[in-house]
Amino acid sequence: MSQPSIQLIRGFKDILPGETELWQHIERTAIDLFEDFGYREIRIPIMEKTDLFARSIGEDTDIVEKEMYTFTDRGKDLLTLRPEATASICRSYIQHKMYAQDPVRKFYTIGPMFRRERPQKGRYRQFYQIDAEIFGVAAPYADVELIFLLRTLFDRLAVTDTTAHVNSLGCPVCRPRFKEALSKLLDAAAPTLCSDCLRRKDRNPLRVLDCKVPGCREAMQGAPSIIDYLCDDCHTHFATVTDMLTKLGVPFEVDKQLVRGLDYYTRTAFEIQTGALGAQSAVAGGGRYDGLVGSLGGPEIPAIGFAIGFDRLSEIVAATSPVAVRPPQLFIAALGEPARAKAFQWATALGIAGVGVAMEYGEKSLKAQMKQANRQGAGQVLIVGESELQAGKAVLRNMADKSQREIPIEGIVEKLIQTLH
């Protein structure tokens, strides 16, 4: 009796050939843009000490309370699969003292994150993000640069119908006054709040603004706007952000309900929303976190960053401008073992020379191999068998117009390179 097949873990997915080409296109487009603006790649581990995320993201957040993949290893250390990248990049920045020579650093990273939330379309338990961060710049121009980069990236990927939603979350100087005003509303609305918000309204009332429960969202419709409570410095900072976005031609809306789901944000918070797949929803978001480096044991260094939901972005790009799979330039149809051995040598030499080449390694008829070449979309087919070897000439067939010509076997690799390049 055969064993049952093993299936994917729920909430995880395979990225198959045909889709990987699209992902590579998005990655190359993002990397080219980032590096043009002076960002350098950083690669961080997928696992960290749990305390890193509890201290940075916030113990009262849904991520830390409900969604992290956390376990105790054999050494009794509490470890977590990273639910986001910013905390890990901060940890690396501090641990390696990257601030010592020059605190201003620009990073990007692309890779998987892990959260145990309810799987749904475009949302997985292993999901991918494109992440960019700027350290050591307090000026609002860093905020504008990141929003501008997002807009530019989406334009290059032909993702239309995007709007930046921006807000200011204030700072430790002005936020207490806002929290006081918000707490009064929450006390009055307590009977309509969910159990999570009832617990959070006293410890961290801003968390209630991020709740997705309909009753809580309705109760927050009349919530005060933090923009009305900004100190002079935060007000000037935010005014510069909105002014420069206008001058750069980046469409945006001031969204007074925008909070973002992590505790470390200060001042500018933003999302890029799109209706490309129907309902308006966020495909990227981020904000300033000026106190995070200091709270994790480093010096007081300002920072800001964003993350793009790669899975959702790939769905949007696939729907609007799918990337074609690159077919082989040449398919070698070899008949008989002597011809196959020769063809294999030619194929390896052509591949090294940068020619896209495919061939059949087994014993198949010419008709079957021609069908195979056609399925793969090969531009040309080189036919070689025992008679061709004896005559010293192979047949090169153009699959578009069905014309064919003989090509000498002696020096065939060089001749094919000249023909196909």
pLDDT at 63: 63
> Among 3.40.50.800, 1.10.490.10, 2.40.50.180, 1.20.1420.20, what is the CATH number of 330-420?
3.40.50.800
pLDDT at 279: 64
pLDDT at 238: 96
pLDDT at 366: 92
- Amino acid occupying residue 32: D
pLDDT at 223: 80
d(CA 153, CA 285): 14
Contacts with 188 (C-beta within 8 Å, 6 or more apart), sequence order: none
Residues of the chain with CATH 3.30.930.10: 20-174+230-320
Q: Identify the H or E element spanning 417.
A: helix 412-420
Q: pLDDT digit of tens for each residue in the chain (421 aa)?
A: 678 899 998 889 999 998 999 999 999 999 999 999 999 999 999 999 999 988 887 665 666 667 888 999 998 999 999 999 999 999 999 999 999 989 999 999 999 999 987 776 667 899 999 999 999 999 999 999 999 999 999 999 999 888 999 999 999 898 888 888 888 888 887 788 887 788 777 777 777 777 778 887 787 777 888 888 899 999 999 999 999 999 999 999 998 888 766 667 889 999 999 887 666 688 999 999 999 999 999 999 999 999 999 999 999 999 887 777 789 999 999 999 999 999 999 999 999 999 999 999 999 999 999 999 999 999 999 999 999 999 999 999 999 999 999 999 999 999 999 888 7
**Homologous superfamily in CATH for domain 20-174+230-320:** Bira Bifunctional Protein; Domain 2 (3.30.930.10)
pLDDT at 261: 61
Residues of the chain with CATH 3.40.50.800: 330-420
pLDDT at 156: 94
Q: What DSSP assignment string belongs to 34-95?
A: HHHTT-EE----SEEEHHHHHHHH-TTSHIIIII--EEE-TTS-EEEE-S-SHHHHHHHHHH
Tokens of 41: 């790649």
